[in-house]
Amino acid sequence: MSALLTLNEVEAFYGAAHILHRLSLHVDAGERVALIGRNGVGKTTVVNTILGLAQLRGGTVRIGGEAIARPRPYIAAQRGVVVVPQGRRIVANLTVEENLLLGGATGRKGPWTAPEIYKLFPILQERAHTPGTALSGGQQQMLAVGRALMSNPGLVLLDEPTEGLAPVIVDQLADIFNRVADQGTALLLIEQNLSLVARVAHRYLAMAKGAVVADGPVDASPEGMQALAEHVAV
């Protein structure tokens, strides 16, 4: 399989703060990968480095095999890598439908259109003309996922998508993520909820101190889950 995203020995900073240390990872077409680790190890900085929000000062970021010397959010989106950010970041003063259409601004062609998003999330169609920020937390997360899919990406980066959500909403999102992946979209799931990881991901990458320190297949057995839990324990 071809790699959609490759980070090779990446060094990333916020100002003088050195966060990522020779970090390497890859996600291939169609893969379902979980990035796990304790709070503060640099998981969100991986996303921010791909978007150019953290400073890349060493190593390489490749999207679809092409090295990106100066990462920027629009470069990633144009090349088929899109982020569902932590905190959702629904645009205020735009309706649900306008938020979705914003996601399609890259102009990439593919199966995901507003009608298809509404099939995936019927509640969004019901509230299409409601301000996006008036939705519940779970509905806003659905909108954030739908907005990302509207760019017809090859890879979606999901940064803590279940944070603060009720278990019933988490169950719905797990089903949605699997349906999206079944249609061929690769996923990189950054998540502390190991139950969700076990239900969605096929491979895991564990981070510590700004680097990937372990990886392997996701094993949903009690022993496998215990091994995963050791990487996220406080």
Write the pLDDT tens digit of every residue in 114-132. 999 999 999 999 999 999 9
34: nearest Cα among 224, 197, 208: 197
pLDDT at position 162 over 60 = yes
pTM: 0.93
Q: Give 20's Cβ-side CA count (13 Å radius).
A: 30
User: What band does 142 get if pLDDT is binned at 50, 70 and 90?
Assistant: very high
Backbone angles phi, psi at 40, to 5 degrees: 85, 5
The 3-state DSSP class for residue 137 equals helix
Distance CA 74, CA 92 (A): 20
Q: How many residues are recorded in the chain?
A: 234
The pLDDT, as a whole number, for residue 164 is: 85
Q: What is the pLDDT of residues 186-234, one digit of tens each?
A: 999 999 899 999 999 999 999 999 999 999 999 989 999 998 999 987 5
> Cβ-count burial of 34 within 10 angstroms (0-12 exposed, 13-18 middle, 19+ buried)?
buried
User: Which range, of 7-11, 67-71, 90-94, 175-179, averages the lowest pLDDT?
Assistant: 90-94
Name the amino acid, one letter, at 57: R
8-state DSSP, 91: P
Q: Give 9's Cβ-side CA count (13 Å radius).
A: 2
The pLDDT, as a whole number, for residue 106 is: 82
pLDDT at position 151 over 60 = yes
> E strands within the chain?
3-14, 17-28, 32-36, 55-63, 66-67, 81-84, 155-159, 186-190, 203-208, 211-217
User: What band does 141 get if pLDDT is binned at 50, 70 and 90?
Assistant: very high
User: What band does 157 get if pLDDT is binned at 50, 70 and 90?
Assistant: very high
pLDDT at position 19 over 80 = yes
Q: What is the pLDDT of residues 43-62, one digit of tens each?
A: 999 999 999 999 999 999 99
Distance CA 26, CA 62 (A): 9
The pLDDT, as a whole number, for residue 234 is: 58
The domain 32-53+70-232: what is its CATH number? 3.40.50.300
- The residues spanned by each domain of the chain are 32-53+70-232
Beta carbons of 114 and 97 less than 8 angstroms apart? yes
Distance CA 27, CA 225 (A): 22
CB atoms closer than 10 angstroms to residue 234: 5
Which is more confidently placed, 65 or 207? 207
The pLDDT, as a whole number, for residue 1 is: 57
